[in-house]
Amino acid sequence: MALTSAELKKSFTQIVDEILSTRPVDMTKSEIKDAVIAADTWLTANAASYNSALPIPFRTRANISEKAFLLAFVALRRAGR
């Protein structure tokens, strides 16, 4: 399920704070906002593919929130977080 406008705004604010607090960035806030929207759009467009890639036991028993958490957790670990 795509983020609401309020959720996108909150996510954008958190990401800008995180990115700008860790290093100098040569991106504008508008460019970062566009990236947040693009990531959300990509997740919506590729949800079925992600779901199909999950092992059947997890796919059939986990709810949407658990599947999203798994994806976020793996992505954060890949980012060293």
pTM attached to this predicted model: 0.80
What tens digit of pLDDT does each residue of 14-31 get? 988 888 788 777 888 899
> What residue ranges do the domains of the chain occupy?
5-78
- Predicted confidence (pLDDT) at residue 42 exceeds the cutoff of 90: yes
> Cα separations (Å) of 22 from 11, 67, 70, 72?
17, 29, 25, 20
CA-CA-CA-CA torsion for 29, 31, 36, 39, nearest 10 degrees? Answer: -170
pLDDT band at 37 (very low <50, low <70, confident <90, very high): very high
Output the average pLDDT for the chain: 91
What length is written for the chain? Answer: 81
More confidently predicted of 28 and 73? 73
